[in-house]
Chain A
Amino acid sequence: MESGKTKRSGTVIFSAYERGAAIKKALSLSRNDILFELKNSGLKGRGGAGFPTATKWMLTAAAVSDKKYLICNADEGEPGTFKDRVLLIEYPELVFDAMVVGGYTIGADEGIVYLRGEYEYLIDSLNDYLEEMRKDNLLGENILGKNGFNFDIKIFLGEGAYVCGEETALIESLEGQRGEARNRPPYPVNTGYLGKPTCVNNVETLATISHIIVKGSEWYKQFGSDKSKGTKLFSISGDCERPGVYELEWGTKISEVLELVGAKDAKAVQVGGASGICLNSSQFDRTLAYEDIPTGGSIIIFNKSRNMLKVLKNFMEFFVEESCGQCTPCRIGNVKLLEGIKMIEENKFTFKQINKLKELAETMKIASKCGLGQSSPNPFLSILENFKDEIFNHSGGGSYA
């Protein structure tokens, strides 16, 4: 395991926070005030899709039902992402406090943390932490003396399926079905877990909400760029000297990130994990923001010795493995793209075939049912585009082992 707890510093998420502060503050406000604060902060979902969090909460709050659920999506399966694990181990108070606030705001009395199967080693410490919260009346009945407000959190352990990070697939898995995406509409905010209104939020989104509630939306808005407010956690790994989790403001340039982590001879940067896009050195002045490169926070750096075709092959093998097989574009498309890569590897291809595969990739983006199939062609398209010379004139050089 990691040797000792590293001291982290950051402007928003890693700033000082007292356990339970967000709950205390929220219970003194009305539900509308909380929704207004969130709306004013402009917070967007941190899982990658970037849906405005305030809208999601408003829709769930407006739905009429005797029972509502708040789900924390801790199914962090994107290769190269580990920020949620850091938050859950080192800052559980941020995540769980925000869930209680969420329960109060949308009128839910049950919260569920969907923890991915690979993180089974976290579950005992999280359960201990929840038990402590119950002792201090931060969970349970009539929380902090607020009459009639009951909320409790349980942890549900998934079993290593990448597609379950998609919110409707996650709900299916929670219900004891195959983890396959649902047709939308109806959206989970109306018909979610067990058919009840359900709000699904990412771990990092929740952690940010705790700070916004305590310190206010105006404070939060001073960080970030014009269109993307606040900060974002980035999980940085690959060929660099100081890999790890960093909190950076939106609008940070890729080149600044590379400097920060000590990546000297970077050739390529994969932003957004396996389903993200791959940038070459001429694009390092682009910024990380919703208006330029939106991302779930994974950054993988490759140096000059890496063979990009092998990198791409690894990504596509991953998608072939993880596609749930429900819809045709994703099930067959990924296999075909992988076949194309093998053809390039063996030098048995024509550019007509490659162009056909690019068309197929575009089709997958439109026709796939969930985010997996819609984003899995991203590395294929971006690596073929940005590393044309290397891939089509390859001589088998470069290592990826």
Chain B
Amino acid sequence: MLLEEKIRTSEEVKKLVKKYGASQSSILPILKAIQKKYGYVSQFAQNEVMRLLNVSYIDVNNVISFHKILDKPQAKYTIRICQSSSCRTKSKDQIIKTIERKFNVKIGEVSKDNKIFLKSTGCLGLCHLSPVISINERVYTQVTPKKVEKLLGILK
């Protein structure tokens, strides 16, 4: 990591600590904010969180491993597919197949060009509009294989 990047990350973490307060309770919100901005939480950022919050490695690592915070660089787009019962009743498997075919990626994997990360997710709370998928932060409801094709066409 370049020095410049380190300084930037450090400033960012400082700002977040100020925003959320310097206590152990702030670990999760801070890590989430870093993840949102950079796509993942680097080892350096983790160290900064430990230093500024005055918590131990194990405290930060506990939260990262339990909440599945990402500590490695990720694909550009994360496609989440709701895996709960209501969505499954509505032709969800065809949608997965469509995406898998289009990007040559299996569920739970990152595509070779690092563009797409396809994963399943817990219920998104839109069961009456199932099936539901989300691409990065946006949620799409009542998707069909055709609609998915169209959505995926826009992803660059």
Contacts and interface: CB of A to CB of B under 8 A. Distances in A.
Interface of A: 1-2, 76-82, 84-85, 117-121, 156-162, 173-180, 194, 235-239, 243-245, 270, 274, 300, 302, 306, 311, 314-315, 317-318, 322, 324, 400-401
A2 B141 contact: yes
Contacts of A77: 122-123
B128 A243 contact: yes
A161 B94 CA distance: 27
B28 A176 contact: yes
Nearest to A79: B84
Contacts of A157: 28-29, 32
Contact of A270 (B66, B85, B88, B130): B85
Given A161-B66, A174-B25, 17 more contacts: A76-B125, A80-B85, A80-B86, A82-B126, A118-B121, A118-B123, A120-B137, A159-B32, A159-B68, A161-B67, A173-B28, A176-B26, A177-B24, A179-B67, A274-B84, A300-B85, A302-B89
A118 B93 CA distance: 21
A244 B137 contact: no
Contacts of A177: 24, 59, 62-63
Contacts of B68: 159-160
A173 B122 CA distance: 18
Query: What are the nearest 4 A-B pairs in CB distance?
Result: A79-B84, A243-B128, A237-B127, A176-B24
Most buried by B among A119, A121, A237, A306: A237
Interface of B: 23-29, 32, 55, 59, 62-63, 65-69, 83-86, 88-89, 91-94, 121-130, 137, 139, 141
B28 A81 contact: no
Contacts of B27: 176
A318 B125 contact: no
Contacts of A322: 122
Contact of A324 (B66, B69, B86, B141): B66
Contacts of A82: 123, 125-128
A387 to B, nearest CB: 15
A239 B29 contact: no
A194 B24 CA distance: 10
Given A77-B123, A118-B124, A178-B63, A159 B69 contact: yes
A236 B89 contact: no
Given A173-B28, A274-B84, A121 B128 contact: no
B46 to A, nearest CB: 14
A238 B128 CA distance: 7
29 contacts: A1-B141, A79-B85, A81-B123, A82-B126, A85-B126, A118-B123, A119-B125, A159-B69, A160-B67, A173-B67, A175-B24, A176-B23, A176-B24, A176-B63, A177-B59, A178-B63, A178-B66, A179-B66, A180-B66, A237-B86, A237-B128, A243-B127, A274-B85, A300-B86, A306-B89, A314-B83, A314-B85, A315-B85, A317-B83
Contacts of A80: 84-86, 123, 127
A309 to B, nearest CB: 13
Most buried by A among B23, B26, B93, B128: B128
A165 to B, nearest CB: 11
A244 B32 contact: no
B88 A314 contact: yes
A118 B132 CA distance: 12
Contact of B89 (A315, A318, A400): A400
Given A176-B24, A177-B62, A314-B85, A78 B123 contact: yes
Given A81-B125, A300-B86, A401-B93, A237 B130 contact: yes
A156 B88 CA distance: 30
B59 A176 contact: yes
A177 B23 CA distance: 12
Contacts of A270: 85
Contacts of B94: 401
A317 B124 CA distance: 17
A118 B137 contact: no
A244 B62 CA distance: 37
Most buried by B among A78, A80, A157, A244: A80
Most buried by A among B24, B25, B137: B25
Contacts of A79: 84-86, 122-123, 127
Contacts of B139: 1, 121
A327 to B, nearest CB: 15
A79 to B, nearest CB: 3
Most buried by A among B62, B67, B86: B86
Contacts of A158: 28, 67
A238 B32 contact: no
A77 B141 CA distance: 18
A136 to B, nearest CB: 25
Nearest to A2: B129
Contacts of A306: 89
